[in-house]
Amino acid sequence: MKVIFVAAAYLLGSIPTGYLLVRSADRRDIRGLGSGSTGATNVLRVKGWKFALPVMAVDVLKGFLPAFLAIRIFGDYRLAAVSGFLAVLGHCFPFAIGFRGGKGVATSMGAFAGLSIPPFAASLGVFALVVAATRFVSLGSILAAVSFPFLFLLFRGPRQVFIWALTIAALVILKHRENLGRLLRGRERKLGEKAT
């Protein structure tokens, strides 16, 4: 049963929300626009808030539901963390569109919320503060993802979850490696700047 559950977590994460929404609206492939990501930040730059908000909502749910339900149904925090990781992996590497997806931010935030609300809320605070101070969504996303595993321990969460939460953060960093390069070169786009 648990094997089926984690497989379903990957499949749920693999639903390419941004790709499907942009494709249905104007027959364009979001992966050829802006940063090439299927996530909400790129959809925001390319299509605006009207498209980005539903993409973000669905992508958050893709991470939240597997983690939350694993705890609710099985009472298993490690399964919840593994399921959250697989949902993020599915979002980043969706099999249905050639393993080219998003950067995992909204889905990882959903997984973190499903694991525990207090450290998630604190990591969301980290994101908000960094973006407000710098207008770099990528930097806020990376620091929020990295902060969650440590905040989870600080809030006395089960230790077996820490390594999986850290793995999710590592995946988010991996998917942002180009952003990190642009940040270091002073060429990263800020929130509100349009993509061409």
Tell me the pLDDT of the chain averaged across its residues.
Answer: 94
Q: Is 38 exposed, middle or buried (0-12, 13-18, 19+ CB in 10 A)?
A: buried
For position 193, what pLDDT does the model report?
Answer: 66
Three-state DSSP at 158 gives coil
Query: Nearest 5°: phi and psi at 189?
Result: -70, 145
Residue 52 burial (10 A CB sphere; 0-12, 13-18, 19+): buried
pTM for the model stands at 0.93
Lowest mean pLDDT among 39-53, 79-93, 105-119: 39-53
Cα atoms found within 13 Å of the Cα of residue 23, Cβ hemisphere only: 10
Count CA atoms within 13 Å of residue 160 on its CB side: 7
> Tokens standing for 116?
């525990």
Q: What is the pLDDT of residues 143-190, one digit of tens each?
A: 999 999 999 999 998 888 999 999 999 999 999 999 999 999 998 988
Amino acid 18 reads G
- Domain extent listing, the chain: 2-185
Measured distance CA(141)–CA(173) in Å, rounded:
9
Q: What is the pLDDT of residue 195?
A: 52
Query: Mean pLDDT over residues 112-132, rounded?
Result: 97
How far does CA 75 lie from the centroid of its chain? 24
Rounded to 5 degrees, what are φ and ψ at 38?
A: -90, 5
